[in-house]
Amino acid sequence: MKIYPRQHHRVLQVITRLMVPFVLMFGLYVQFHGDYGPGGGFQAGVIFASAFILYGLIFGLHRTRKVLPPSTLRWLVSFGVLLYAGTGLLTMLLGGNLLDYDVLASNPLSGQHWGIFAVELGVGITVTSVMISLFYGFASKR
């Protein structure tokens, strides 16, 4: 990947700076709105990752890596899966079936709420970090 000199593409750089916070915000909205309306971890993860990928395309891999180093990403990939699996194991420990969120809180309704929240968060984190890892992996090849 060629890293363009900074003085070129001034328009793109300014627009990117403007866009990235909104993209991240929209990603978070889709993530946390997913338990009551359309949305969820998969979509939110991809949107969230696209902000980082856009930043990487315009400002170069080097600067993106400073924001989110690959070692952190590897940790996040595992953490997301573990959050999902951990929620499943927790529901089993609390006496329910696998991913039976009813047992997570005092009443089934808030239990379902917490359960789907944790699981979708796990999915979102993993999808985000996997997408960014893929971008790092391919973009660093010449």
Check residue 102 for interaction with other proteins (CB under 8 A).
Answer: yes
Check residue 69 for interaction with other proteins (CB under 8 A).
Answer: no
| Rounded CA separation 55/77 (Å) | 20
**Closer CB to other proteins, 5 or 37, in the complex:** 37
CA distances from 31 to 6, 34, 43, 78, 124 (A): 33, 5, 8, 19, 7
Angle at 84 between CA 81 and CA 85, to 5 degrees: 85
**Closer CB to other proteins, 51 or 88, in the complex:** 88
- Token readout for 121 is 């968060």
Check residue 101 for interaction with other proteins (CB under 8 A).
Answer: yes
Check residue 61 for interaction with other proteins (CB under 8 A).
Answer: no
Binding residues for other proteins, rule: CB under 8 A, are 37-38, 42, 74-75, 77-79, 81-82, 85-86, 88-89, 92, 96-102, 127, 134, 137-138, 141
